[in-house]
Amino acid sequence: MTWRLMDADLDLGQTVEWTSSANGGTRTKRGEIVEIVEPYYYPSTEWHAGKRHYGPFRVNGWPLAPTRHRRSYVVRVIPGPRSKAHYYWPRPTALKKVTNG
């Protein structure tokens, strides 16, 4: 398996991975692109239907954050075989396209 930095627009259904950090540690996440978000827009509410979110500052169910200045992507990650999917809106520059081979 190889990967390359995102140098072109990605498509729905493609597998990507990125590294995130929290609490002093890093974790590589891998998932499938399920939504393409155009510049200066927020992701749709579809990925948060029926979920509870806490805190007053949210747009379409996402934590209030600046919109992205370039095309971005919502990624579905399934952590394990019996786990529910988690949806992320990572920075587009952090995404790496995963290819088998």
Evaluate whether 5 touches 88 at the Cβ level (below 8 Å): no
SS3 4: strand
Q: What is the pTM of this model?
A: 0.74
- What is the C-alpha to C-alpha distance for residues 15 and 30, in angstroms, rounded to an integer? 7
Residue 35: Cβ-neighbour burial (10 angstroms; 0-12, 13-18, 19+)? middle
Q: What is the pLDDT along the chain (101 residues), one digit of tens a residue?
A: 444 444 457 999 999 999 988 889 999 999 999 999 888 887 876 766 555 444 444 555 566 667 788 899 988 888 888 888 888 888 888 999 998 74
